[in-house]
Amino acid sequence: MRNTAALVLALSLAGGTLAAQDTTIETLLTEELVGRPDKEITMVTVEYAPGAVDPVHAHHAQAMVYVLEGSVVMQVKGKEPRTLTPGQTFYESPGDVHVVARNASRTARAKFVVFFVKDKGAPLLVPAK
């Protein structure tokens, strides 16, 4: 099972690429949101190995997911899980708890891009309590 601390560290960084055991996260861009110096937008790619599963977490941000390759299962607390394939999207609000985030396949990789709008300097991922 993947080390939760490695995933938190990977998603907290402002730049670069880090790989946890089953997940690779690459920060593509972080910029101040125009007209809102207290907010920023960050774009990352996430690549799941076959069977990869993320721990329950929150983003405290608006998060918009766009699937590039493979299929992923996403679910926030109180809503039904959704299996997404290339070209499909998923949205999380700042108050959502992400209870399911996993590769839907045990044999193929999955890759998606995530756009976050968040408080400037805030971490992208916070483990759920």
| Domain residue ranges in the chain | 4-122
Beta strands at 16-19 and 23-33: parallel, antiparallel or unpaired: antiparallel
Give the mean pLDDT of 88-96.
Answer: 94
Kindly indicate whether the domain formed by 4-122 is annotated with CATH number 2.40.50.1070. Answer: no
Residue closest to 46 by CA, chosen among 121, 127, 125, 126: 125
- State the Cα angle at 47 between 29 and 98, rounded to 5°: 85
Give the mean pLDDT of 2-21.
Answer: 43
Residue 117 or 12, more confident: 117
pLDDT band of residue 63 (cuts 50, 70, 90) is very high
pTM for the model: 0.82
70: left (phi over 0), alpha (psi -120 to 50) or beta: left
Instruction: Please state, in angstroms and rounded to a whole number, the distance separating the CA atoms of residues 110 and 95.
Output: 26
And the tokens for 73? 């299962």
